[in-house]
């Protein structure tokens, strides 16, 4: 397990005008705000103003952004193409609208995907006026260009995530390992699972031969066995083929997400 500590992530707090938002309210004047700027985003890989070839991707995982959006703010309509975009909601409610006619709001434990393909325009907002929104957005390089745009989502219950891995994303039929079996299916040999582990409980995680994985601690903390490496909130880890972990949650429990994919030699962060 190669730990990527929170301190190594790039933190972006762009001006509100970049995405069509009103100016930030005066400090302490807006109920429900947990950050002075409308957005606080942690970039795991090169993205936007964080531009570096030393941290471009991990396998087919091209982007992982941990976004905290304040009440009544969001991302105005913008475009994407030739990417599989998957978003997991950690807290709050995310409202999505796109050029395919989709409009829906999703809460904690839900996941959405968008095959941008030949081109899609969409917006993402936190319409709640009192509570922040936090979500993890991942961009996965598709196995082909020029795909037809597509959108889908899936909601999970707390019981489905409790002390076990809940598989949310997998490849479309014919695209890779365990193809066609996940509730959300993308055009790449990759999968995404989440788990919420109670304090003191242990959950194993194995990375088979020929695979690699990227593990994110979204909430709480987890340690690999007695005296092993630990991950706190916002920490991540690169996991090579053959990795065997026993993740024990800390006093506040642990909310974890793992992206697993076909192994690709030479990928991963070069600047630790």
Residue positions in the annotated binding site for Fe cation?
A: 78, 80, 122, 124
Element (H, E) at 158: helix 158-161
Cα 89 to Cα 106: distance, rounded to the nearest angstrom: 7
How distant is the alpha carbon of residue 162 from its chain centre?
Answer: 19
Known binding-site residue numbers: 78, 80, 122, 124
Instruction: Report which of 112, 109, 239, 84 is spatially closest to residue 175, judged by C-alpha positions.
Output: 84
Phi, psi (degrees; rounded to nearest 5) at 238: -90, 130
Question: Residue 99 has what DSSP assignment?
Answer: T
Containing 256, the helix (H) or strand (E) segment is: strand 244-262
Range 185-204 burial, b when 16+ CB lie within 10 A, else e: bbbbbbbbbbbbbeeebebe
């Amino acid at each position: 397990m190669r730990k990527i500590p929170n301190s190594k992530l790039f933190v972006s707090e762009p001006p509100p005008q970049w995405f069509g938002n009103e100016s930030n309210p005066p400090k302490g004047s807006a109920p429900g705000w947990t950050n002075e700027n409308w957005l606080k985003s942690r970039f795991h890989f090169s993205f936007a103003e964080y531009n570096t070839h030393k941290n471009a991707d991990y396998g087919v995982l091209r982007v992982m952004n941990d976004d905290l959006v304040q009440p009544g703010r969001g991302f105005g309509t913008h475009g994407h193409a030739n990417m599989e975009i998957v978003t997991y909601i950690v807290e709050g409610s995310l409202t999505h609208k796109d050029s395919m006619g989709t409009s829906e709001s999703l809460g904690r434990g839900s996941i959405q995907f968008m095959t941008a393909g030949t081109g899609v325009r969409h917006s993402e907002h936190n319409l709640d006026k009192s509570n922040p929104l936090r979500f993890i957005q991942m961009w996965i390089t598709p196995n082909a260009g020029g795909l037809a745009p597509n959108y889908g989502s899936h909601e999970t219950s707390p019981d489905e995530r409790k002390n076990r891995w809940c598989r949310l994303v997998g490849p479309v039929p014919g695209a890779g390992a365990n193809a066609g079996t996940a509730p959300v299916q993308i055009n790449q040999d990759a999968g995404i699972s989440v788990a919420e582990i109670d304090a003191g409980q242990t959950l194993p995680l194995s990375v088979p031969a020929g695979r690699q994985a990227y593990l994110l601690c979204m909430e709480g903390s987890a340690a690999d066995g007695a005296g092993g490496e630990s991950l706190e909130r916002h920490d991540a880890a690169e996991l090579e083929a053959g990795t065997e972990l026993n993740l024990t949650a800390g006093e506040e429990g642990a909310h974890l997400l793992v992206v697993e994919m076909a192994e690709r030699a030479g990928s991963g962060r070069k600047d630790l």
